[in-house]
Structure 1
Amino acid sequence: MKIVIAPDSFKGSLTALQVARIIKEELIKEIPDVQVEMNPMADGGEGTLETLVFATKGERIPIVSSGPFMEQVSTEFGILGDGKTVVIEIAAISGLPMVPIEKRDPLYTSTYGIGEVILNVAKDGYREFIICLGGSSTNDGGLGMLQALGVQFLDENNEEVPPLGESIFKVNKVNFATLNPIIHDCRFTIASDVDSPLCGKNGATYIFGPQKGVKEEYMKAYDQAMHRYARLIENHLDIDVQKNRGAGAAGGLGFAFLLLNTKIESGSRLIAEVTNLKNKMKDANFIITGEGQSDFQTMFGKVPSFVAKLANEADVKIILLSGSLGKGYEGLYDHFMSCHSITTGPMTLEECMENAETLLANEARNITRFLKVISEEGAKQVTADHIQRSVRSPTEVFGV
């Protein structure tokens, strides 16, 4: 029996790689001769760097950069197994989890550190980048990152504005002629499953601003300032990208990257291609995927939905094993053979997250025991069919 394990992370408790390893351990305990392929997944957010580095046998390189509040933070970037492609995860440099809840306000957070890392790595000779856009604490339209790359943003007094979200309200003049020339030779692939444009009701501020600390009464003014900032840049460069799919990703970082040599791809699709997931499914008997919580939103572009699509195309049975099953999960039975939650009774979110490893192992074991029975019954059926075909009738033996 071959089983492919392709989960997303259980955000806040287990990485996708940890989830895959726990499930694999339980499979091997119950079915020692099982063939297991671990293929951790991600969508461009937290954990994407780890997933890509693991899948390609690459390496993780430590580096120091400016964090959300322009403080010095220890972070990392990845180099894929090809030795030439760099992976940068936004969540590891200016991520929302790096900002205490009481301090969340994108007026005072920055994407400057992202530009710092890009420039430092580019100076080391790298030119191919995968940028994982997800989990940001920022909403500065990429202003901070562009400043770190050399772009000038000046206020009405011709003074450089600070690399913070509030500066989009102050920018009066922009100068891309000062962009570091090395960036012209770099190629960026954006991994993101966010389709939002930069501005408007479906844009960066209205959709993602609240979780980052934007107060409802400031929403309209913030969105208008973002639009004005973007038009200033677009007029300067004679370009129009703020309405493009993904421009609103990561508080407008998508927009900033679209001003460079960039293409945006579905995060789930990109990870699946890099990890060769489709080929691994071809001779598999079962696929196991999952996420922190599965509900009616799961089939709207989340990792399990993409894995299920590939599994169904390959005609392979797929099992969903998630931290919890939320509102409307019943609709997932149209796409998954079975749906499972790791919770064992009434539990708070905190309790579930604190005990996620044990809970996941227990439910993975339950699923494995069912798969073991299915495997054994299948083997018995094959043997019975073989015996039936092997037994000859008296007519065949004696000719009567």
Structure 2
Amino acid sequence: MPGRVRIVAASDAFKDCLTGAEACAAAARGVRAAHPHAEIIERPLSDGGAGFVEALCAGGSHRWVARRVCGPLGEPVDAGFALHAGPDSASAVVQLSDAAGLALIPRSERNPEQTTTFGVGELIGAAIEAGAREVLLGIGNSATCDAGAGLLAALGARFLDDHGAPIERPTGADLIRIARIDASPLAARAAGVRFTVACDVSNPLFGPSGSARVFAPQKGADPAQVERLDAGLRNFARRAAEAGATFAPETPGAGAAGGVSFGLASFCAAALRPGAELVLDALGFDELLKGASLLITGEGRFDATSLSGKAAFAAGMRARRAGVPAIALVGATGQGWEAGLTSRAGPFERIVPITPAGMPYEDALRAASRLLEEAAARVVSPGGAPGPGPSRIADR
């Protein structure tokens, strides 16, 4: 390959085996094995879930602030946030999954009626106390369906039942019990703080496509619990309106993370943004693509859902608009994956599963780094890797 080429390796995490940074590093090793003199830019990605802090803070001047906070089931967990001290004010990056993530709960104990985002509010409160005047919150991979009530309670909001008794650490099951919301202590504490929520879905708060009906089963809810949670979310929206909130529960993204986005937008005037686009903008991704010969991106599983706000697809679309060829290296493909190909109006010349046919899942997890490295070497080598679309790297 004549001349020097510039390749952007920007990957989301591969669930249960590789962080975004590890995936980027593996892809970069593969490219260097085939083209030792290639210029490779590594950037981990996230859509607001796992790896959100890592993606926004990679190579930056943030410092990690550790905190022990309330976990999703009330147990203490070790978490933290990234703090950046700017010339005028500080900003913080918080990842909901660190304090209220599904991965923190054994599968047999998952129950979104019993989980809370209280610990996330403790992290945000600590960030505010540390001087943050801007909070970026990634809310993917949650174990909760509490409309952010737990988070808001940790920041000072008071939730009262029919008898005027306080609900101290609201869970999903508590939403139906809320008769009144007093947000004045919260308003005082969060005054002057700008909140941005990175959403990974566009669902409304409640209803047939709402948070409970679509996502609560993935968090351990049975059909009866789903109906109770949906009723609780409706009640929360009513009580929020009675407390003066004007954010509409039908707004796309209001149902993200069990309604956390609705709670923060209602009581903290949070701006909701697609998580992948927020991260790409923060990374200056369009600038990174200038002069690039190729984008290599990836995620654990590519299917039809990848086209709805996932980081790898969003990066591919940026590359397409920039005229940069893009290849996705993925753990596996699922139904609808073909829609990501350029032949189907998608951004990818190739979508290449890295896992050999017949390899057991646990073996694939253990070998993920090596498999990704080998796949990256193949796709940039003469002849490329099997799969749809041409394999090419050209000087640009």
> TM-score w.r.t. structure 1 length?
0.90
Contact conserved, 1:56 with 1:81, CA < 8 A, in 2? no
- Per the alignment, residue 297 of structure 2 pairs with 289
In the aligned structure 2, how far is the partner of 1:371 from the partner of 1:311? 22
Residue 55 of structure 1 deviates from its aligned partner by 4.5
In the aligned structure 2, how far is the partner of 1:2 from the partner of 1:377? 9
Residue 227 of structure 1 deviates from its aligned partner by 0.2
Contact conserved, 2:70 with 2:99, CA < 8 A, in 1? yes
Q: 1:4-23 residue pairs with structure 2 within 5 A?
A: 4-23=8-27
What's the CA shift string for 1:252-282, capped at 9, x where partnerless? 1011110213111111111111111101111
Residue 246 of structure 1 deviates from its aligned partner by 1.3
Identity %: 28
Give the counterpart of 1:105 among 103, 111, 115. 111
Change (3 A) 1:157 1:356: same
Change (3 A) 1:197 1:103: same
Contact conserved, 1:292 with 1:322, CA < 8 A, in 2? yes
User: How many residues are aligned here?
Assistant: 380
- Per the alignment, residue 143 of structure 2 pairs with 137
**Greater alpha carbon shift after TM alignment, 243-252 vs 57-66:** 57-66
- Is residue 153 of structure 2 the alignment partner of residue 147 of structure 1? yes
The runs of 5 or more residues in structure 2 that have no matched partner are none
Contact conserved, 1:44 with 1:268, CA < 8 A, in 2? yes
Q: 1:205-354 residue pairs with structure 2 within 5 A?
A: 205-259=212-266, 260-334=268-342, 335-354=347-366
- Per the alignment, residue 171 of structure 1 pairs with 178
Between Structure 1 and Structure 2, whose CA radius of gyration is higher? 1
SS for the counterpart of 2:329 is strand
Opposite residue 63 of structure 1, the aligned amino acid is: R
Give the counterpart of 1:77 among 61, 75, 81. 81
SS for the counterpart of 1:156 is coil
In the aligned structure 1, how far is the partner of 2:181 from the partner of 2:391? 65
**Greater alpha carbon shift after TM alignment, 352-361 vs 279-288:** 352-361
Residue 178 of structure 1 deviates from its aligned partner by 2.7
- Per the alignment, residue 395 of structure 1 pairs with none
Contact conserved, 1:230 with 1:242, CA < 8 A, in 2? yes
In the aligned structure 1, how far is the partner of 2:51 from the partner of 2:20? 7
Contact conserved, 1:106 with 1:214, CA < 8 A, in 2? yes
- Per the alignment, residue 202 of structure 1 pairs with 209
In the aligned structure 1, how far is the partner of 2:300 from the partner of 2:106? 21
The runs of 5 or more residues in structure 1 that have no matched partner are 383-400
In the aligned structure 2, how far is the partner of 1:369 from the partner of 1:204? 45
**Greater alpha carbon shift after TM alignment, 363-372 vs 326-335:** 363-372
Residue 290 of structure 1 deviates from its aligned partner by 0.9
Give the counterpart of 1:355 among 349, 353, 367. 367
Residue 181 of structure 1 deviates from its aligned partner by 1.3
**Greater alpha carbon shift after TM alignment, 176-185 vs 134-143:** 176-185
Contact conserved, 1:296 with 1:331, CA < 8 A, in 2? yes
Contact conserved, 2:176 with 2:231, CA < 8 A, in 1? no
In the aligned structure 2, how far is the partner of 1:293 from the partner of 1:19? 13
Change (3 A) 1:180 1:65: farther
Opposite residue 314 of structure 2, the aligned amino acid is: F
What's the CA shift string for 1:224-262, capped at 9, x where partnerless? 221012211211215242122211111110111102131
- Is residue 47 of structure 2 the alignment partner of residue 43 of structure 1? yes
SS for the counterpart of 2:113 is helix
In the aligned structure 2, how far is the partner of 1:51 from the partner of 1:25? 19
Question: What is the Cα-based RMSD across aligned positions, in Å?
Answer: 2.2
In the aligned structure 2, how far is the partner of 1:88 from the partner of 1:376? 39
Change (3 A) 1:89 1:258: same
The structure that is helix-richer by fraction is: 1
